[in-house]
């Protein structure tokens, strides 16, 4: 495989806020605690040593989850779980929804980033331990975001029902597995993958245990630890923060203050906080909490609570309270000895809204690492890129721009009248200058004639380009197909396509290849050409 790089700015797919964050721009500096650098990690470690967590409760919860999920942790994962008992152990975390068959490719990239960063940090600071953690978003209730996957461009959809993601029953997945089997082929790798899918998705009762088993089978050998945070023992540590939030609406106030600063600096806000940034979970359903005159209720008033009701729930069943996207990062930092969060551009954008809110509770943000982004290019696509003479940056242009670029290269000067435009501009300028000396009122008509000529040349160029397209129809179609393959659904490949097609070609070697060429701290977009 051949690996090349571009800056994130060159792709055009990342916001100005993220570009400025990576460049450590002065406008963004007040929004984070530690820079995404080796020195930043060193400071984060020193800070995190002042914020102990309940290691025993954390390890106990993880061990129970692996046992309940009928998943035997790989040897390195078992070692890492044991290391979480130690005070000098820190975590590198990424969070993600429980998407069907892991969803788009970028989950794989996020997980490999956490693994790579943990390994890099161990090399930098051998006196400490670093554990990569996948924080499963088991409490999310947006089923429409997780109930499908695109494999070979085919959308596989699951009638998952309704409820929090982790509790969704997987008994109805058999038809989806059967549909997937029809596109996998009959290679040995396909047979092994299908067996793993059946073992993961059909032998477990809920999506949390299913996802843990599947991801562990794929990446457990790298020591990845998988955590479901919706646990009474862990939620208990967050009770004081929930009480304070329900009393003072601090997140609402502090995040809105930061949003005002973001707007003043020319950036937009990724999320807008609510007064109450919590949900209530009942019988597998997630209901948004709102403040009422003398207590709280769920939106729509399915459930109504007095303050004493809330206090009783917090004491007896804290797991029924579910933090939303605003409170969830704080909950993560309270229960994990975390020094780094790995996320996409959208995720980092909302983390950058939370520093003042975190500081209110005596916490700093962890290092915020932009997850690595890849474009996977197979041998046929690589050949076409070379054939058409496209540079890496060209690939991020619109299809019409690529076609025009190619046609101009093959059609030569015959498709452009730029030289003639320059001559005409000088010609009309000379006439206008002379005419103005005698009758300035005629200059307007000269400019109008010049404009007519410009329009005529533009129309003639369009006709010549159309004729060239017809002549090069096969090449034009190949360029459009290339663009569609690299940017399915007109977006980055990693945000759409599933990992399975690449796994079928390369097996577990696919993960190994990405891991070996993974350098998150390089802060570059990576193009990978497979031979």
> Band of the pLDDT at 474, cuts 50, 70, 90?
confident
Q: Is the pLDDT of residue 35 over 60?
A: yes
Residue 70: the pLDDT is 60
Residue 69: the pLDDT is 63
Per-residue pLDDT averaged across 198-205, rounded?
A: 94
**Residues 251-270: tens digit of each pLDDT:** 999 999 999 999 999 999 99
- Segment holding 6, helix H or strand E: strand 2-6
> Band of the pLDDT at 436, cuts 50, 70, 90?
confident
What is the average pLDDT score of the chain? 93
> Tokens standing for 113?
């980033």
Q: Is the pLDDT of residue 248 over 70?
A: yes
Q: Is the pLDDT of residue 471 over 70?
A: no
For residue 443, the Cα-to-chain-centroid distance in whole angstroms is: 57
> Band of the pLDDT at 460, cuts 50, 70, 90?
confident
CB 8 within 8 A of CB 373: yes
pTM of this prediction exceeds 0.95: no
Residue 1: the pLDDT is 85
How open is the CA angle 42-46-50, to the nearest 5 degrees?
Answer: 155
Of 348-362, 440-454, 461-475, least confident by mean pLDDT is 461-475
Residue spans per domain, the chain: 2-236+327-373+510-529, 243-323, 377-491
Round to whole Å and give the CA distance between 518 and 420: 50
N-terminal to C-terminal alpha carbon distance within the chain: 6
Q: Is the pLDDT of residue 68 over 90?
A: no
Per-residue pLDDT averaged across 187-203, rounded?
A: 96
**Closest to 280 (Cα-Cα) out of 340, 323, 232:** 323
Residue 75: the pLDDT is 80
> Band of the pLDDT at 423, cuts 50, 70, 90?
confident
Q: Is the pLDDT of residue 416 over 70?
A: no
Q: Is the pLDDT of residue 449 over 70?
A: yes
- Quote the longest CA-to-CA distance of the chain: 95
Per-residue pLDDT averaged across 306-311, rounded?
A: 96
């Amino acid at each position: 495989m051949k690996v090349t790089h571009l800056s994130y700015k060159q792709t055009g797919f990342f916001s100005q806020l993220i570009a400025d964050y990576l460049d450590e721009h002065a406008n963004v500096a007040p929004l984070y605690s530690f820079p995404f650098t080796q020195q930043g990690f060193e400071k984060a470690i020193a800070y995190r040593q002042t914020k102990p967590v309940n290691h025993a409760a954390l390890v106990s919860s993880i061990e129970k989850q692996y046992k309940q999920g009928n998943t035997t942790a790989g040897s390195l994962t078992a070692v890492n779980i044991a290391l979480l008992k130690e005070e000098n152990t820190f975590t590198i975390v990424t969070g993600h929804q429980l998407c069907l068959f892991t969803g788009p490719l970028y989950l794989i990239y996020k997980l490999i980033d956490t693994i790579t960063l943990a390994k890099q940090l161990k090399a930098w600071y051998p006196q400490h331990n670093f554990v990569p953690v996948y924080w499963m978003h088991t409490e999310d209730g947006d089923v429409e975001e997780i109930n499908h996957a695109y494999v070979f461009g085919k959308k596989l959809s699951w009638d998952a029902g309704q409820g929090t993601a982790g509790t969704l029953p997987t008994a109805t997945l058999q038809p989806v597995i059967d549909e997937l089997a029809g596109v996998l082929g009959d290679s040995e790798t396909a047979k092994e993958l299908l067996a793993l899918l059946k073992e993961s998705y059909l032998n477990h009762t809920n999506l949390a245990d299913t996802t843990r088993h599947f991801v562990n089978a794929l990446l457990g050998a790298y020591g990845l630890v998988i955590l479901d945070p919706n646990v009474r023992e862990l939620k208990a540590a967050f009770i004081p923060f929930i009480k304070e939030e329900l009393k003072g609406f601090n997140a609402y106030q502090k995040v809105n203050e930061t949003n005002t600063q973001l707007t003043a600096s020319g950036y937009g806000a990724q999320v807008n906080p609510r007064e109450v940034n919590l949900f209530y979970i009942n019988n597998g359903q997630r209901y948004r909490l709102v403040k009422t005159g003398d207590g709280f209720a769920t939106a729509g008033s399915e459930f109504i609570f007095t303050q004493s009701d809330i206090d009783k729930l917090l004491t007896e069943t804290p797991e029924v309270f579910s933090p939303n996207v605003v409170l969830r990062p704080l909950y993560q930092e309270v229960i994990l000895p975390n020094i780094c969060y790995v996320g996409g551009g959208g995720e980092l954008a909302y983390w950058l809204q939370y520093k003042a809110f975190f500081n209110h509770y005596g916490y700093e943000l962890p290092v915020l690492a932009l997850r690595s982004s890849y474009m996977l290019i197979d041998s046929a696509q690589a050949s076409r890129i070379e054939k058409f003479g496209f540079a890496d940056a060209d690939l991020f242009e619109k299809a019409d721009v690529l076609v025009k670029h190619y046609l101009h290269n093959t059609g030569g000067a015959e498709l452009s009248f730029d030289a003639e435009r320059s001559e005409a501009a000088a010609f009309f300028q000379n006439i206008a200058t002379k005419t103005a000396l005698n009758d300035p009122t005629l200059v307007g008509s000269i400019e109008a004639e010049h404009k007519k000529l410009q329009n005529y040349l533009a129309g003639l160029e369009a006709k010549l380009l159309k004729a060239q397209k017809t002549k090069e129809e096969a090449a034009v179609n190949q360029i459009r197909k290339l663009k569609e393959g690299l940017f399915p659904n007109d977006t980055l490949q990693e945000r759409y396509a599933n990992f399975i097609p690449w796994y079928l070609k390369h097996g577990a070697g696919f993960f190994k290849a990405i891991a070996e060429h993974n350098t998150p701290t390089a802060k570059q977009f990576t193009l990978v050409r497979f031979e």
